[in-house]
Amino acid sequence: MSGKQDHIMQTALELFAADGLAVPTAKIAKKSGVANGTLFNYFPTKQDLIEALYLAYKKEVTQLFLASGADKDQSLKESSFVVWNSYIRWAISNSLKFKVMNLLRSANVLSAKVLAEADDIFKPFYELVQNGINKGEIMNIDVHYLYKIKAAQIAVSINQALAGKLKGKALDSHILTGFDIFWKGVAA
């Protein structure tokens, strides 16, 4: 992406986080310092901008998981904790991105195509979970259902950590406790 495209996306992120998805593209363009027509050179529609944001953050989180070692040869519990821990820490450091990702998911504004692309981005992790199911590490449940459970529980942990402004040992303890509750709920 170009610097201008990144700037437009950052501006949209800030405006969506502050004012919701009803923000007009004219306001995004103005705050970005570009003409409305220029914005449409980078994102032909507001929907394209919304979906570009969502996929960019999905890719960012996936790269974080991989860099943290979630795909390494270890138990599903260990890999799941890497994902849990790194995502909570990412969300705390990137609270606007976390807020907007949740907004985009809950507003049901993402196309089936983009949701399928997001699933493809997470495919390596779905495969890890399916292998864990096959090995009897966790309950035999649909992988997508499990991820919805995990997403809900991790969102609660993130929101609690943000509300409590947790840091250091308090955050470490919070992350471990939340993961323990999640894992006990899905372990075989």
pLDDT at 158 over 80: yes
pLDDT at residue 149 greater than cutoff 80: yes
The pLDDT score that the predictor gives to residue 127 is 86
Rounded to the nearest 10°, the torsion over CA 171, 63, 71, 127 is 110
Distance CA 179, CA 175 (A): 6
Residue type, 78: E
Strand, coil or helix: what is 167? coil
Extents of the domains making up the chain: 1-44, 53-186
Q: How far apart are CA 114 and CA 107, in angstroms?
A: 14
Which of the residue ranges 89-93, 142-146, 175-179 would you say has the lowest mean pLDDT?
142-146
Q: 56 CB contacts (<8 Å, ≥6 apart)? A: 1, 9
The model's confidence at residue 184, banded by pLDDT at 50, 70 and 90, is very high
* C-beta of residue 186 within 8 angstroms of C-beta of residue 149: yes
pLDDT at residue number 69: 82
Work out the mean pLDDT of the chain and round it to a whole number: 92
* CATH fold label, 1-44: Arc Repressor Mutant, subunit A (1.10.10)
Domains 1-44 and 53-186 share a fold: no
Q: Give pLDDT, residue 1.
A: 59
Tell me the mean pLDDT in the region 39-68. 92
pLDDT greater than 90 at residue 40: yes
Query: What pLDDT does 2 receive?
Result: 73
Length of the chain: 188
Question: Is the pLDDT score of 161 beyond 70?
Answer: yes
Give percent of the chain above pLDDT 70: 99
The C-alpha atoms of residue 130 and residue 119 are separated, in whole angstroms, by 14
Q: Report the pLDDT value the prediction gives residue 67, as an integer from 0 to 100.
A: 87
pTM of the shown model: 0.88
Tokens of 1: 């992406």
Between 188 and 48, the higher pLDDT residue? 48
For domain 53-186, which architecture applies?
A: Orthogonal Bundle (1.10)
